[in-house]
Amino acid sequence: MAEIYHFTVSEEQAGLRLDKFLSEQQIGLTRSLAEKYITEGCVKLAGKPLSKSYRVEAGDVLTAEIPEPKALDVLPEAIPLDIVYEDSDLLVVNKPKGMVVHPAPGNYTGTLVNALLAYCGDTLSGINGVIRPGIVHRIDKDTSGLLIVAKNDFAHKHLAEQIKVHSFTRIYEAVVYGNLKEDSGTVDEPIGRHPVDRKKMAVTEKNSRNAVTHFQVLLRYQGFTYVRLKLETGRTHQIRVHMAYLGHPVAGDPVYGPKKPVPGLQGQCLHARVIGFVHPRTGQYMEFTSDLPAYFTGFLGKLKQP
């Protein structure tokens, strides 16, 4: 059974794109998922389907018929999980480098979702639909570190809202190529699909979203800089794109950095070190820190001081 929602557009909301308007309602839709349902004809005005680019007008009465999440065609796998925290609403998991978060073409086994299905059974949230149960946010395959998982839709909605309003704490550490001139700074540049290579993201004004990354130098080495990065927004590949934009790609990044491999690194040297959020049920702020993994400390140990 689909869930049917009715929304009346206020004067303050007039002029918003339909996909943005829907993502701002308290029904747990990301903008990309709202766009998907609009494209499938699930959102109507006076019985007629609308396009994602429709600008809502004050007084519009919209009907959204949101289908139930489709059944998973992904098998549970008894893969060990490094669980930092767990309660009846959520998990905080320390993801290893090399693990894909959710299944996709070419990666239908060995993912975090496969492991979660085995560990949690059917208690994960279903808001993200097919093959993303419980996944509130994600980190790249070759990025290690902390990730939060929602066990129910209540927790998922509240956590997703914190990400949307940028009250979610996400601090990463990385080693980047070259010597950053400033000891600290901010990259405030929009990110969207690369205009030529659609598998990549880029700093671009076209079809992009605002993206803000704060950086601080921790240590300087010959040819590399060890930095701490705090996300204000959470765009796809944000840190990797912003650091490459500065001329200092993340060490070992084969997509945005030099093609020549870095000895001792398989993929980018990037670790999600700190995660903080307000617990959806208790209202208490919680923060967790992950130790640097062996691949990261091992790489630092090989670098030479200037």
Q: How many CA atoms lie within 13 A of 289 on its CB side?
A: 3
d(CA 186, CA 75): 42
Across the strands, what pairs with 191? Answer: 203, 209
Contact 153, 125 (CB under 8 A): yes
The amino acid sitting at 151 is K
For 44, how many CA atoms within 13 A lie in the half-sphere containing its CB?
10
- Least Cα distance to 28 among 113, 147, 112, 152 occurs for 152
Tokens describing residue 233: 């927004």
Alpha helices by DSSP H, listed for 225-293, are 238-245
The encoded tokens of residue 87 equal: 């309660």
Whether residue 131 contacts residue 94, with contact meaning beta carbons closer than 8 Å, is answered with no
Report helix, strand or coil for 244.
helix
Does the annotation mark 122 as catalytic? no
Which residue in 60, 140, 142, 253 is the catalytic one? 140
Positions marked catalytic? 140
